[in-house]
Structure 1
Amino acid sequence: DIAVYRLLPVPDDGHARFSATERGYRYRIHHRKDPFLRGRSYLFRPALDVAAMTAACAPLLGRHAFTSFCRTGSDAKTMDCDLREARWEALDHGCAFVVKADRFLRNMVRALVGTCLEVGQGQQDTGHLARVLEEQDRSAAGRSVPAEGLFLEHVRYPFIDP
């Protein structure tokens, strides 16, 4: 659901998608069944090393081509994104991935989370995401997680949040 908290005038050439300078997403994971989280968080039972997953994300910060984390066959003109924040938070009975960038590719956040889960379970080391990024091949990354649990938390515009 969407709720409107305020309305602001924007320039005539302002565009909801193309004028944005930053977007922030959160992906929530819970480890045990909870009827109140159904459809709003991904139920993933294995224990996860949140610190290792955050460490694995560090090399992704900055401007890179995120081809490995984009849906195959994307028609994006460029795969470059400026990743400004990528970290994991431990929560009661789960965790959350917090990520901010100037733009995201289709399926990018879900592919990042799926690849991080391999690190969090100890199936891959903390250098795995850096190697996947370098490969520039979607098949090098982990499986994409389901859409449940993914939330757009904020969008920044130059004419609203300079």
Structure 2
Amino acid sequence: METYRYFLEIAYKGSNYHGWQIQVNAHTLQEEIEKKLSILLGRPTTIMGSGRTDTGVHASQQFLHFDSDTELDQTTFLKKINGILPTDIAAYSLRKVKPDAHTRFDAIWRSYVYKISLRKNPFEENSVWFLFKQLDVKKMNEAARLLLNHEDFQCFSKVHTDVNNFNCTIKAAFWEQKEDQLLFHITANRFLRGMVRAIVGTLIEVGTGKISLEGFLDILDSKDRKKAKASAPAQGLYLCSIIYPENIFI
């Protein structure tokens, strides 16, 4: 029987989930989406995401792939899947891809944004990090630029993680202030577990003057997670963009 592989673009608010990956005795995004897809397609359906977001982390753009034994119409499919997904998960697009296309391994670039609110806002609860400190954004950007000259980011990785190496290519990392909101943008070919939140937490210490640029450089060179500072809270982090080569789409 012929099967068809599809990339599904989704977004979600991660507040009610114990991260992306299926776990025993925990409510996860992968489990929730697989259940609804299996209902819609009439058979057990597994999915693979472009990456694994942690508990409480959000995504304004995430991709997953799945296989179907029938060809699917995008408009009809999106209407039906959005009708049964919970309100904190939305499906945006469906694209047919080559049979060996893979949302995780074929991704070229991934981007995250971390959102900090500098004043209390009741409409942003669980969506930003409320941080009421005076920050030197210029100095934070100077430190962020140092990330572009490094490859090994072991100092910002969770310690017990199953990876072959800690090398990442970061092509953009900068802070942007919009009125009372401070946004950290970062794009890389891959990210280590907990990496972005550890970077943000450490850059905030640069912004408060507790770490100098030389100190930040020492942390980068140390390859020691204990040298970096506490991770920023999960609720401010968003996976926001994944770029794929066009030749995998049909």
- Alignment TM-score, normalising by the size of structure 1: 0.93
CA distance in 2 between counterparts of 1:44 and 1:14 reads 41
27, 37, 42: which one aligns with 2:114: 27
SS of 1:100's partner is: strand
* CA deviation after TM superposition for structure 1 residue 127, in Å: 2.9
SS of 1:128's partner is: helix
1:46-81 superposed Cα distances (whole Å, 9 cap, x missing partner): 111111101001121055110000001111111000
Question: Is the deviation greater in 136-145 or in 53-62?
Answer: 53-62
Question: Is the deviation greater in 18-27 or in 60-69?
Answer: 60-69
1:82-108 superposed Cα distances (whole Å, 9 cap, x missing partner): 001000001211301000000000000
Classify 1:6/1:34 alpha carbon distance in 2 versus 1 (closer, same or farther; 3 Å): same
Where does residue 115 of structure 1 map in the other structure?
202
159, 169, 172: which one aligns with 1:72: 159
Where does residue 91 of structure 1 map in the other structure?
178
CA distance in 1 between counterparts of 2:247 and 2:133 reads 41
List structure 1 runs of 4+ shifted beyond 6 angstroms. Answer: none
**Structure of greater relative contact order (alpha carbons < 8 Å, 6+ residues apart):** 1
SS of 1:139's partner is: coil
Where does residue 127 of structure 2 map in the other structure?
40
Whose helix fraction is larger, Structure 1's or Structure 2's? 2
79, 97, 104: which one aligns with 1:10: 97
Where does residue 148 of structure 1 map in the other structure?
235
**1:128-147 counterparts in 2 under 5 A?**
128-147=215-234
- Alignment TM-score, normalising by the size of structure 2: 0.62
CA distance in 2 between counterparts of 1:33 and 1:3 reads 27
Residue 209 of structure 2 corresponds to residue 127 of structure 1: no
CA distance in 2 between counterparts of 1:110 and 1:52 reads 18
Where does residue 51 of structure 1 map in the other structure?
138
The residue type equivalent to 2:204 in the other structure is L
Where does residue 17 of structure 2 map in the other structure?
none
Indicate the RMSD between aligned Cα atoms, in angstroms. 1.7
1:35-54 superposed Cα distances (whole Å, 9 cap, x missing partner): 11111100111111111101
Classify 1:117/1:10 alpha carbon distance in 2 versus 1 (closer, same or farther; 3 Å): same
Number of aligned pairs?
162
- 5+ long unaligned stretches in structure 1: none
Classify 1:160/1:93 alpha carbon distance in 2 versus 1 (closer, same or farther; 3 Å): farther
CA distance in 2 between counterparts of 1:79 and 1:125 reads 24
